């Protein structure tokens, strides 16, 4: 009965090839249009990223630190540091400035004594992309300064205590500059460490995962939006007569959605991307298959719980697209909040990293994702059994 009804549904869908082609092409067109708009906005905003620096400490160390940032080849291509005088209020209304950095008076003396004096950073909300770039830059710089301070404190502890006050002051200044320059040698660090060494997808890999997953979810959305209203029209009484229960209907709908998902994945997630990326086709197919099972079951569960097609699609769009962002499939790791990076959802990103860069089976990640599939399937079963009991 389940197989018969599934074949009936597949035949009904295939009888409208033009509508099916529209369902597949519409998400691609939307992503291309939105992508071009975002790309143009980001490109224009990031052409000249300006950061104002207010150095109230005015010491040799802070001057050296700012010079190192200004002369860094990697940063110089995208970021311009503008040294200014005055107070924060003089520059908060400047629209062409991504961020304002204020080095407080006494920063160097506090650093020498082992205390982290915070540097005030004001981000310009009118330039979200440029200010976010400045934020990530300064956040990474915080780690470099912390490493420099650790080096200074270690050397000062073992050697500085044996020197006189004047010699000790000069020695600490030299060590501060030495460790600051050493830890801020960004070009060298970029050469020695690539993204695959820190469990992060490259931009090319992230684009592949993000675009395919977003296109897939949008395709599921439009497919159910256009084909679902016709599913029960005129045949509801017949289904009741032949005792096709809610659970059997759910299983049949899952078979149909999952079958179309696999066909979609083979074309858009395997054949086309494999021209650019070298992929393990079997592992990547299993990975996308598990993800497809999760979203198909999620839609069916929401459909059984809400029962109103419009509200079902609305809830599915919010939950599915939101989960794509939280799981790291759309946004890279660096743009996610800390709670998202350590959440269960982020295992989707890490499983792709294991498959693409290491060529291994992500056993733990697949087990967790399998538990999610079983949980959704159990909830769907309980929901359908409840509906059957009520009727």
Question: What's the CATH code of the domain at 56?
Answer: 3.40.1710
Whether 91 and 134 map to the same domain: the answer is yes
Whether 118 and 223 map to the same domain: the answer is no
Whether 87 and 123 map to the same domain: the answer is yes
Residue 152 lies inside a defined structural domain of this protein: no
Whether 113 and 255 map to the same domain: the answer is no
Residue 158 lies inside a defined structural domain of this protein: no
Whether 83 and 179 map to the same domain: the answer is yes
Q: In the prediction, which pLDDT does 267 show?
A: 86
Q: In the prediction, which pLDDT does 358 show?
A: 86
Residue 155 lies inside a defined structural domain of this protein: no
Whether 217 and 244 map to the same domain: the answer is yes
Whether 187 and 245 map to the same domain: the answer is no
* Residue 167 CB partners (closer than 8 Å, separation 6+): none
Q: Which two tokens stand for residue 328?
A: 């790291």
SS (H, E, C) the chain: CHHHHHHHHHHHHHCCHHHHHHHHHHHHHHHHHHHHHHHHHHHHHHCCEEEEEEECCCCHHHHHHHHHHHHCHHHHCCEEEEEECCCHHHCCCCCCCCEEEEECCCHHHHHHCCCCCCCEEEECCCCHHHHHHHHHHHHHHHHHHHHHHHHHHHHHHHCHHHCCHHHHHHHHHHHHHHHHHHHCCHHHHHHHCCHHHHCCCCHHHHHHHHHHHHHHHHHHHHHHHHHHHHHCCCCHHHHHHCCCCHHHHHHHHHHHHHHHHHHHHHHHHHHCHHHCCCCCHHHHHHHHHHHHHHHHHHHHHHHHHHCCHHHHHHHHHHHHHHHHHHCCCCCCHHHCCHHHHCCHHHHHHHHHHHHHHHCCCCHHHHHHHHHHHHHHHHHHHHHHHHHHHHC
Q: In the prediction, which pLDDT does 381 show?
A: 93
Whether 18 and 98 map to the same domain: the answer is no
State how far the Cα of 116 lies from the Cα of 108, in Å rounded to an integer.
Answer: 9
Q: In the prediction, which pLDDT does 192 show?
A: 34
Whether 181 and 281 map to the same domain: the answer is no
Q: How many domains does the chain have?
A: 2
Whether 138 and 216 map to the same domain: the answer is no
Residue 117 lies inside a defined structural domain of this protein: yes
Q: Which of 116, 123, 112, 101 minimizes the C-alpha distance to 56?
A: 101
Whether 231 and 375 map to the same domain: the answer is yes
Q: In the prediction, which pLDDT does 155 show?
A: 54
Instruction: Provide the residue count of the chain.
Output: 391
Residue 154 lies inside a defined structural domain of this protein: no
Q: What is the pLDDT along the chain (391 residues), one digit of tens a residue?
A: 778 878 888 888 888 888 888 998 999 898 888 878 877 766 665 566 777 888 888 887 677 777 766 766 556 666 777 888 877 777 766 667 777 878 888 877 776 665 666 777 777 766 666 666 666 666 655 555 555 555 555 555 555 555 566 665 565 556 555 555 554 444 333 333 333 444 677 778 888 889 999 999 999 999 998 887 554 545 555 655 566 677 888 898 999 999 999 999 888 888 777 766 778 888 999 999 999 999 999 999 999 999 888 899 999 999 999 988 888 888 776 666 666 666 666 788 889 989 988 889 999 999 999 999 999 999 999 998 887 676 6
Residue 24 lies inside a defined structural domain of this protein: yes
Residue 352 lies inside a defined structural domain of this protein: yes
Residue 100 lies inside a defined structural domain of this protein: yes
Q: In the prediction, which pLDDT does 10 show?
A: 86
Whether 168 and 220 map to the same domain: the answer is no
Domain that holds residue 292: 2-38+199-390
């Amino acid at each position: 009965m389940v197989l018969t009804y599934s074949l009936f549904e597949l035949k009904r869908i295939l009888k409208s090839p033009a509508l099916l082609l529209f369902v597949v092409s519409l998400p691609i067109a939307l992503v291309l249009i939105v992508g071009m708009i975002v790309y143009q906005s980001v490109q224009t905003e990031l052409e000249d990223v300006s950061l104002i620096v207010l150095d109230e400490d005015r010491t040799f160390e802070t001057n050296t630190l700012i010079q190192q940032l200004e002369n860094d080849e990697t940063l110089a291509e995208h970021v311009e540091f503008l040294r200014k005088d005055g107070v924060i209020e003089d520059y908060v209304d400047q629209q062409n400035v991504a961020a304002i950095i204020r080095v407080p008076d006494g920063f160097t003396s506090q650093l020498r004594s082992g205390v982290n004096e915070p540097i005030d950073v004001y981000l310009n909300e009118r330039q979200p992309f440029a200010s976010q770039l400045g934020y990530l830059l300064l956040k990474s710089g915080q780690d470099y300064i912390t490493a420099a301070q650790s080096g200074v404190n270690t050397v000062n502890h073992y050697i500085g205590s044996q020197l006189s006050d004047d010699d000790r002051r000069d020695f600490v200044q030299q060590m501060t500059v030495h460790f600051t320059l050493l830890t801020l040698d960004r070009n060298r660090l970029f050469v020695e460490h690539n993204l695959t060494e820190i469990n992060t997808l490259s931009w090319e890999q992230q684009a592949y995962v993000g675009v395919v997953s977003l296109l897939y979810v949008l395709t599921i959305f439009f497919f159910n939006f256009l084909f679902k209203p016709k599913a029960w029209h005129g045949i509801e009484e017949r289904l009741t007569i032949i005792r096709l229960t809610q659970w059997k209907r759910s299983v049949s709908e899952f078979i149909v959605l999952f079958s179309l998902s696999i066909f979609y994945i083979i074309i858009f997630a395997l054949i086309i991307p494999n021209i650019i990326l070298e992929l393990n086709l079997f592992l990547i197919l299993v990975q996308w298959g598990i993800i497809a099972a999760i979203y198909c079951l999620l839609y069916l569960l929401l459909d059984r719980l809400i029962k109103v097609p419009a509200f079902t699609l609305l809830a599915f769009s919010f939950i599915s697209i939101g989960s794509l962002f939280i799981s790291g499939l759309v946004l890279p790791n660096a743009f996610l909040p800390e709670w998202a990076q350590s959440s269960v959802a982020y295992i989707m990103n890490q499983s792709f990293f294991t498959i693409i860069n290491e060529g291994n089976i992500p056993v733990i990640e697949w087990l967790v994702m399998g538990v999610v599939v079983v949980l959704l399937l159990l909830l769907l079963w309980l929901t359908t059994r409840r509906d059957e009991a009520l009727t």
